[in-house]
């Protein structure tokens, strides 16, 4: 690549922000300048990038002057406050929060699914929810082969989805329990160590929580299929990093298991992990730090002739957030849209 770009990371000190740093370096993104932005509370900290120590700056009105690309991962309220100011300053924003995902003017992109959507951006591109990304990478290749009627998904979501402090809280709770003490919860509403509970996002009048509705609405938007029926049950589990999902798919016609396995073995962003004799399938411990979504245990749904079951694990911080954002940025570079 002959051109290079001035990039800012908004939310640089968080779990996704530090992962963005690693990915920009390891994937050799064409940088001419890198600016690290965060809240005033984190300003003055330094983070390593290659052989350099970069100082974190407090985000402000002039932070985006001269910046080509903003990778934002600082929460919805922060994105709503700063994204349009960044665009007005001439930057393209790839936003990892939920702030703009369902805005009809904002592309919602999983590069393995709908890369063409980046062309229609008006300054902001949204990164989908982590569970949506992981599911879409695995389901889309099958959806392209056979019309899909319905998705029923249950998620097993790690502490990393709530950030670095949540991961530390689970460690502290585990130590407390093992020492015979009462675990304390601050980030989560209940202790997560040695426990699990339905996802703690707000619940609507239909009984679905916000996280579940994200999976439903975002998948329809990304697939471009408003009629696709999706139901989700999202659960927090005592895993530090990497989410898991059990997915049931109902197709228009029977879908041969061997065909599905062949399709997924060749799908971009997917790694097939199946050892039936050893009962070895994707696990969070294997998905942690891994770019592909690990998919396995593909089998016929015994309750429905047109049903398939599959299991997946994916790194929420990586493909579920930072990697997807960097892949979007790489798309923008390849299409000369920065």
Asked if residues 236 and 157 have their Cβ atoms less than 8 Å apart, the reply is: yes
User: Has 13 been labeled as part of a binding site?
Assistant: yes
Annotated binding residue at 16?
A: yes
> Do 60 and 84 belong together in one domain?
yes
Say if residue 327's pLDDT is above 60.
yes
pLDDT tens profile 272-298? 999 999 999 999 999 999 999 999 999
* Radius of gyration of the CA atoms of the chain, in A: 20
Predicted local confidence at residue 163, as pLDDT: 87
Six token digits for residue 58: 């407090």
Residues 45 and 72 in one domain: yes
Is-catalytic flag, 243?
yes
Same domain, 115 and 135: no
**Whole-angstrom Cα distance, residue 236 to residue 187?**
13
Q: Residues 95, 16: one domain? A: yes
β-strand pairing of 52-58 with 31-38: parallel
217 and 137 in one domain? Answer: yes
The confidence band for 198, taking pLDDT boundaries of 50, 70 and 90, is: very high
Q: Is residue 273 part of a domain?
A: yes
How does strand 197-198 pair with strand 229-236? antiparallel
- Give the residue among 313, 33, 323, 328 at the shortest CA–CA distance from 157: 313
Identified catalytic residue from 121, 199, 234, 243:
243
81 Cβ contact partners less than 8 Å away, ≥ 6 residues apart: none
Whether 54 and 149 map to the same domain: the answer is: no
Q: Which of 130, 199, 234, 313 is catalytic?
A: 130
Same domain, 243 and 136: yes
SS3 call for 32: strand
Residues 212 and 300 in one domain: yes
Residues 141 and 268 grouped into a single domain:
yes
Has 98 been labeled as part of a binding site? no
Average pLDDT over residues 9-28: 96
157 is in an annotated binding site: yes
201 in a labelled binding site: no
In this structure, the answer to whether residues 134 and 257 fall within a common structural domain is yes
For residue 259, tell me if it sits in a domain: yes
Residue 180 lies in a domain: no
> How many independent structural domains does the chain possess?
2
Residue 173 in any domain: the answer is: no
Same domain assignment for residues 219 and 327: no
Host domain of residue 284: 130-157+195-312
Q: 173: annotated binding-site residue?
A: no
Q: Is residue 240 part of a domain?
A: yes
Q: Mark whether 147 and 209 lie in a shared domain.
A: yes
In a domain, 24, yes or no: yes
CATH number of the domain where residue 11 is located: 3.40.50.720
Is 84 known to be catalytic?
no
Output the pLDDT for position 164.
Answer: 85
Does residue 2 surpass a pLDDT of 90? Answer: no
Residue 166 lies in a domain: no
Q: What is the DSSP letter of 229?
A: E
Residue 6 labeled ligand binder: no
| 168 domain-assigned | no
């Amino acid at each position: 690549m002959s051109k290079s770009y001035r990039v800012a990371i908004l939310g640089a000190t968080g779990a996704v922000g530090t992962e963005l740093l690693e990915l920009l370096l390891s994937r050799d993104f064409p940088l001419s300048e890198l600016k690290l932005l965060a809240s005033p509370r984190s300003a003055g900290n330094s983070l390593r990038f290659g052989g350099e120590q970069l100082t974190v700056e407090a985000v402000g009105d002039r932070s985006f002057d001269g910046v080509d690309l903003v990778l934002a991962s600082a929460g919805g309220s922060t994105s709503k406050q700063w994204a349009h100011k960044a665009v007005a300053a001439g930057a393209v924003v790839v936003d990892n929060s939920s702030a703009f995902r369902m805005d009809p003017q904002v592309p919602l992109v999983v590069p393995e699914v709908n890369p063409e959507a980046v062309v229609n951006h008006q300054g902001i591109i949204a990164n989908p929810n982590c569970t949506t990304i992981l599911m879409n990478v695995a389901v889309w290749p099958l959806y392209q082969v056979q019309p899909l009627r319905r998705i029923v998904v249950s998620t097993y979501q790690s502490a990393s989805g709530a950030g670095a402090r949540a991961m530390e809280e689970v460690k502290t709770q585990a130590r407390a329990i093992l020492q015979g003490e009462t675990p304390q919860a601050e980030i989560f509403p209940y202790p997560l160590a040695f426990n699990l509970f339905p996802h703690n996002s707000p619940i609507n009048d239909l009984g679905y929580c916000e996280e579940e509705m994200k999976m439903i609405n975002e998948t329809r938007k990304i697939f471009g299929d408003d009629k696709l029926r999706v139901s989700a049950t999202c659960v927090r589990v005592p895993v530090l990093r990497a989410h898991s999902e059990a997915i049931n798919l109902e197709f228009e016609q029977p879908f041969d298991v061997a065909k599905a396995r062949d399709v997924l073995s060749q799908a971009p962003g997917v790694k097939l992990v199946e050892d039936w004799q050893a009962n070895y399938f994707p696990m969070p411990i294997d998905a942690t730090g891994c770019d592909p979504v690990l998919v396995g245990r593909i089998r016929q749904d015994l309750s429905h002739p047109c049903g398939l079951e599959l299991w997946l694990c994916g790194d929420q911080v990586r493909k579920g957030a930072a990697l997807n954002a960097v892949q979007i940025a790489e798309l923008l570079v390849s299409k000369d849209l920065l």
